[in-house]
Structure 1
Amino acid sequence: MIVRIFGDQQYRLADDQHAPLNDLDDAVVAAVEAGDEGGYRSAFDALLAFVREQGTPLDEDELIGSDVLLPPADLTLEEAGREFTGEGLVPDPVEG
């Protein structure tokens, strides 16, 4: 899975990281829906940190479409309210 963080770069995550990434995304959605500024900031920072720590950065000249697009780290709670809705930005893993 390829994840782009706007204002940062693209990262390749192993398939087995999809479920934990989705869980972190769900935590961001829950905090946004609750209007919890501190919870949002903590959850969003954890989501970005997970991608950066578990992912392998792609070379700048490697052009691959992203499976997941994440907003930049400075996204406000108000802005997040327009991004993190419903299922969030990370599609649910396919069971099978």
Structure 2
Amino acid sequence: MIVRIMGEGQLDVADGHFAELNALDDELLAELESGDEEGFRRTLGALLDAVRRLGAPLPDEVLEPSELILPGQDASLGEVKEMLSDDGLIPG
């Protein structure tokens, strides 16, 4: 799966890592719904770190369609809420 982190670039993340990322996404969604800014910051950082750790960066000159777009580390709670679907940032 090609994942874009806004402001950073694209990474190719194997589908086998989807469960780990989805667990972090569920935690992030709960923190967004409760307005827990501190938890939101911590979990967003953990989600982005996991994508960076599990994914292989695509070269800057390669532009593939992103199957998933994640906010950058500095995104606000409101900005992330606008990006959400019913399933969170990561569908499924």
Task: Give the TM-score normalised by structure 1.
Answer: 0.88
Opposite residue 64 of structure 2, the aligned amino acid is I
**How many pairs align?**
92
Find the counterpart in structure 2 of residue 12 from structure 1: 12
User: Which consecutive unaligned segments of at least 5 residues does structure 2 have?
Assistant: none
Q: Distance in 2 between matches of 1:85 and 1:64?
A: 22
Find the counterpart in structure 2 of residue 41 from structure 1: 41
Deviation at 1:29, TM superposition (A): 0.7
User: Which consecutive unaligned segments of at least 5 residues does structure 1 have?
Assistant: none
The 10-residue stretch of structure 1 (7-16 or 71-80) with the greater mean CA deviation from structure 2: 71-80
Task: Give the TM-score normalised by structure 2.
Answer: 0.92
Deviation at 1:81, TM superposition (A): 2.5
Give CA-to-partner distance per residue, 1:6-53, whole Å, 9 cap, x none.
100100111101111111111111100010011101110000000111
Query: % of aligned pairs identical?
Result: 43
Alignment RMSD (CA, Å) = 1.2
Find the counterpart in structure 2 of residue 28 from structure 1: 28
